[in-house]
Amino acid sequence: MDTRVKQTLHHYIGGKKVQSDGGRFGDVYNPATGEVTTLVPLASADETRAAIASAAAALPAWSATPPAKRAQVMFKFRELVYANMDEIAQLVSAEHGKTIEDAKGSIQRGVEVVEFACGIPQLLKGDYSEGVASGVDMYNVRQPVGVCAGITPFNFPAMVPMWMFPVAIACGNTFILKPSEKDPSCPLRLAELMTEAGLPDGVLNVVNGDKESVDTLLTDPRVDAISFVGSTQIGEYIYQTGCANNKRVQALCGAKNHMVVMPDADLDQAVDATMGAAYGSAGERCMAISVVVAVGDETADQLIEKLTPKIKGLKVGSYTDASTEMGPLVTPAHCEKVHGYVDKGVAEGAELVIDGRGHSVAGHENGAFIGGCLFDKVKPSMSIYTDEIFGPVLCVVRVDTYDEAEKLVTEHEYGNGAAIFTRDGDCARAFTTNVQIGMVGVNVPIPVPVAYHSFGGWKRSLFGDHHIHGMEGVRFYTRMKTITARWPSGIRDGAVFNFRSGSE
């Protein structure tokens, strides 16, 4: 074993920790120190198949368990997450780098999905039509899809898995989670808590890994449905490969979220909103604002004047310092990538108003830090505008009219979130009606739907037909069955050879 690291992780299969026998491991960093703290096993195809076998074996009994009993596990799991909140937040922050308060907020958003899943008996109720023909009744039920898999990104190691497995499991499915190999400790802990909450062994399994285990999940015929959250490049591959293997797939992907600021907006409100939305979690959020579209030069000038001291004053540091507002990026490699984008923005001719490159934090000189960056006069052809940077780099694009702003938002390849800041109801209504975006905010910078609504983008931010959690989640993780029943005492009308209308 590598002597630099404190621990080697495992998989969680059949309700137990399972040590890897595959021999491949990945490095997990503490991004605030730049040190490798943990080795994560990268599952072989055989290890992944063991998790699939475990989920498949647990399926018949779990899908036959009454929904109210499944809900009881969710109620207990919710309690356990709250009871262990400090420990879980610590696991998230130590591997992701975000502040403890931010980690707790994201865990809370995940728990809200668990709370939604507690209502599963009500959510699974079907509908019934009496007497659709003489002596004939018809009803719909929603049954579990089967063995489901979830492949999740690094940026929300608690919340994104909890967008998936609570709803899937409450619906009667069994589940295999393949979390990000960059911060795998929190998902493993959540699986242990599900066992402690009374979940039967094998209903939730966690297999750590990379492409090899993902490809096994995508092609194994025992897996029925795949939920993916991550980058567009990988998500499109997951969607196409999963569909080619006859699986139901939802793939929620990358983003470039615009915030349009109209000249009549409350600029102080818009500036505060921009600070949190662009620099919170170091910009590593799929709903982060990465582009401000300022309508009119005066609006742009005022925004930049107000933003500048706030960005320069951002407290960048380790999650271990309670006064930190923005932590490091997830790994040194990601930090280098974000630095590279800032270099490109300068080379492409954008005006770098605030340069966060080379930001050093005393006592954490090897940490993956970059300070907040602000570009002005960004053009739509520049890579800092077209690409998702996934770091604390905000681009200001100047336009002259609302119509130009709407066109920009609509024409961008991503369609996750967008916001407009204005006091003009007509303008806000035009925006919410016309933009080709899945989640839209009016004077709300990060319009993330609550757990009982559903989360999802448009265009190349989502492949598949279903958004995630809320009723869309229930629909994704269930199949509809429609039953038409006639009882022997019904009217006898002899053999019928012709198709009949429903009114007969």
Dist CA 70 CA 63 (whole Å): 9
Do the strands 136-144 and 478-486 form a parallel or antiparallel pair, or are they unpaired?
antiparallel
* 153 vs 371, beta carbon nearer ligand NAD: 153
- Among residue numbers 215 through 254, which ones bind ligand NAD (CB under 6 A)? 229-231, 234, 252-254
Contacts with ligand NAD: how many residues (CB under 6 A)?
A: 27
**Least separation, in Å, of the C-beta of 214 and ligand NAD?**
4
- Among residue numbers 338 through 397, which ones bind ligand NAD (CB under 6 A)? 388, 390
Type of residue at 359: H
**Nearest residue by C-beta to ligand NAD?**
230
**Least separation, in Å, of the C-beta of 327 and ligand NAD?**
16
> Does 214 contact ligand NAD by CB under 6 A?
yes
* 151 vs 384, beta carbon nearer ligand NAD: 151
Per the residue annotation, which of 148, 286, 335, 373 is the catalytic one? 286
- Chain-centroid distance, C-alpha 263: 33
**Least separation, in Å, of the C-beta of 334 and ligand NAD?**
8
Task: Figure out which of the listed residues 170, 461, 463, 467 binds ligand NAD, where binding follows CB under 6 A.
Answer: 461
* 89 vs 160, beta carbon nearer ligand NAD: 160
For tokens 């595959």, name the residue. 22
* Catalytic-residue membership of 286: yes
Residues forming beta bridges with residue 177, ordered by sequence position: 150, 206
**Least separation, in Å, of the C-beta of 51 and ligand NAD?**
14
**Least separation, in Å, of the C-beta of 286 and ligand NAD?**
3
One character per residue 262-291, x = contact with ligand NAD (rule: CB under 6 A): ------------------------x-----
Q: What is the CA radius of gyration of the chain?
A: 25
Which two three-digit tokens encode residue 339?
Answer: 């630095």
Alpha-carbon distances of 411 from 15, 81, 222, 384, 460, rounded to whole Å: 47, 41, 39, 16, 11
* 172 vs 187, beta carbon nearer ligand NAD: 187
Helices (H), 379-494: 383-386, 402-411, 425-434, 470-476
- Among residue numbers 175 through 194, which ones bind ligand NAD (CB under 6 A)? 178, 180-181
Dist CA 245 CA 153 (whole Å): 22
> Does 422 contact ligand NAD by CB under 6 A?
no
- Residues 6 or more apart whose CB falls under 8 angstroms from that of 363 comprise 318
Dist CA 262 CA 473 (whole Å): 35
* 232 vs 324, beta carbon nearer ligand NAD: 232
Annotate 123-143 with DSSP letters as a single string.
HT---EEEEEETTEEEEEEEE
Q: Which helix (H) or strand (E) holds 112?
A: helix 100-117
Alpha-carbon distances of 335 from 161, 332, 368, rounded to whole Å: 24, 5, 6
**Least separation, in Å, of the C-beta of 278 and ligand NAD?**
14
Residues engaged in binding ligand NAD (CB under 6 A):
151-156, 160, 178, 180-181, 210-211, 214, 229-231, 234, 252-255, 286, 388, 390, 416, 457, 461
Which residues are annotated as catalytic?
Answer: 286
